[in-house]
Structure 1
């Protein structure tokens, strides 16, 4: 049996020196859907979520970009309101656990939070529809601490094409280029997760500071539209940005992706209703919505309709593995370089995750897999947080008008 004590020591040392700063966690959405935005009781033992404080600690998490996602098919004014509610949920979460969380606006804030034993809480907007095509709304969100905006979600915006929609903008329109320029002027990172490949290239054509993929994997390993092609990874290296590898099974496992495509085809053949994720309303003033399980309708539903069960029995869903996630991380490293890879698990944003990475406590197991493959402690530290902190600093230095509290020009 091979002695892995050295690699385990490297993992422990890496996490002590640079805890995980993860690019994407959808707990605010999960809190809305399953808990009516209540933030109490999150210290431990919340199996309905992938995330609670005890498991964040066990996973070595020192910083988290909380996603303030709202559905991209909402009317844009409604999306702005719902995004504000999501931002408020992050602030209330941090306020409820001041010994465990601290709001972070800058790379220095992240380091200060980690130094004080707390988890730095940053905010990322998942979809440009939340801006309602308004630079004023963008600047207002920046003042509230939003540090990245994913340019699209699963629908196009009027100014950028999504990977999941029919192209309309040819990547970016002139308006989209103006949005990207303003984001970089005020120190908000353009996030290219979810956008079409043409949009990736269009942004990299005009970017004057690093950009990120907050939760995407490598298309050369799994041919999924949400993953990043090699030619974009090469350009990302030249841009100075970072691809934060997601753990979503259909992104990291070709077998799971093929199963999902076959399941969707059978679902449609049976004439079952289109798959949907619920977007429950937020509590009204004076109202408390009781906690309830989230009901997802579609081929991956935990309670599929009777017509679909025979197909599921004959075609059991395969599981993604830690090794497959590590394969994607290795590929991004080989293509873009070790300075341009990070972690963006997408916890509480998908129904299940790879074996061993079922919740936010799993990061050390992934790092151990990489250490066994020869990753040094220094390389692991770049992956866990040093790369994204470098990108944040570069964004702050580039900004001519940083709008987050306490920021100074570099």
Structure 2
């Protein structure tokens, strides 16, 4: 890595400094575009420091973030045409963000792009659409989004799409429809990763069987530790080495702690159950044990929820997590796989040739 790369001053453990020299954090999921739509009219101003969001440049730097998948999200309840428009508006927000802060952010499509951008001391910015609603049932829309740099699409959000079952809706298909499998194959061709966060366990299994490329979970945690339907069962985690995919552990308290989830679903009566950096570290270590060290990453979901674990309330929160894992005995090499190297491998394996096809 270039000596110009920024190492987080919020990190205290020397092993973490070594890890970030090998691979900075590539965060799988940040909802700033949608949050900016809701509370700032898509303004890109005021994001250097002290923003009203959980995300700004100063806190990204302090968190050790060198790569960010920006989520471009359309509400599942929108009509198809509106969902497509909504998603394109959020892609436009990301492009305007890059134009407004060219000294900080640069668009990345491939692993080599990320490395080049790191070498310039900037934050690589990648696009991920959250929910198959975003393409409005049209492969042509998917192809156009790929031309704009889309690198993953979450197959569903909280509700089913006509071609895939969601984790948080009543199952209809038992996985993917024939068209859903066609969507996955076209994503493979275009270099758009199939993101299996939010989908049902049967859809996860069906998509992994269908996909000829590595899949990702951009922001999910482990069902064995917290039985939330958004989390990933161990049999699916165990299948990732055969596929080459990566689980990017989410920081949302409902996915980390069954006590918190019950409290939240029960109307938030009484004291909030504590959720700490150790809850996140436990999920990371469970994923490492089941899927293996080469198949884990981090996908925060910052600006997608209002409450996060203690010490991890903004994008600077990667630093205390990495420090805690180092305290638990992680080596610099293994931490670097978690922070970014595993995702870089996936980008490399689905990279230049496939992405070029998406531009044609």
TM-score above 0.5: yes
Give the structure 2 partner of residue 336 of structure 1: 291
The CA deviation string for residues 85-121 of structure 1, in whole angstroms up to 9 with x for no partner, is 0000000001100000001111111111111000000
User: 1:258–1:400: structure 2 CA closer, same or farther, 3 Å change rule?
Assistant: closer
Q: Verify: 1:194 aligned to 2:149, yes or no.
A: no
Give the structure 2 partner of residue 109 of structure 1: 113
Q: Verify: 1:376 aligned to 2:340, yes or no.
A: no
Aligned to 1:102, what secondary structure does the other structure show? strand
Runs of 4+ in structure 1 displaced over 4 angstroms? none
Distance in 1 between residues matched to 2:127 and 2:219, nearest whole Å: 14
Give the structure 2 partner of residue 40 of structure 1: 45
Residues 22 and 65 of structure 1 are in contact (CA less than 8 Å); yes or no, is this contact kept in structure 2? yes
Give the structure 2 partner of residue 14 of structure 1: 19
Residues 396 and 402 of structure 1 are in contact (CA less than 8 Å); yes or no, is this contact kept in structure 2? no
Give the structure 2 partner of residue 278 of structure 1: none
Residues 105 and 404 of structure 1 are in contact (CA less than 8 Å); yes or no, is this contact kept in structure 2? no
Distance in 2 between residues matched to 1:78 and 1:112, nearest whole Å: 36
Q: Structure 1 length normalisation: TM-score?
A: 0.83
Cα drift, residue 204 of structure 1:
1.1
Unaligned runs of 5+ in 2: 1-10
Distance in 1 between residues matched to 2:235 and 2:94, nearest whole Å: 36
Aligned to 2:78, what secondary structure does the other structure show? coil
Aligned to 2:13, what secondary structure does the other structure show? helix
Give the structure 2 partner of residue 24 of structure 1: 29
Q: Verify: 1:262 aligned to 2:266, yes or no.
A: yes
The CA deviation string for residues 186-237 of structure 1, in whole angstroms up to 9 with x for no partner, is 1100000000011001111111110000000000010000000000001112
Aligned to 1:403, what secondary structure does the other structure show? helix
Q: Verify: 1:67 aligned to 2:48, yes or no.
A: no
Residues 109 and 355 of structure 2 are in contact (CA less than 8 Å); yes or no, is this contact kept in structure 1? no
Residues 146 and 355 of structure 2 are in contact (CA less than 8 Å); yes or no, is this contact kept in structure 1? no
Cα drift, residue 396 of structure 1:
2.1
Cα drift, residue 327 of structure 1:
0.2
> Which of the two has higher C-alpha Rg?
1
Q: Structure 2 length normalisation: TM-score?
A: 0.95
Q: Verify: 1:221 aligned to 2:225, yes or no.
A: yes
Give the structure 1 partner of residue 237 of structure 2: 233
Unaligned runs of 5+ in 1: 1-5, 264-298, 300-311, 406-410
Distance in 2 between residues matched to 1:57 and 1:164, nearest whole Å: 34
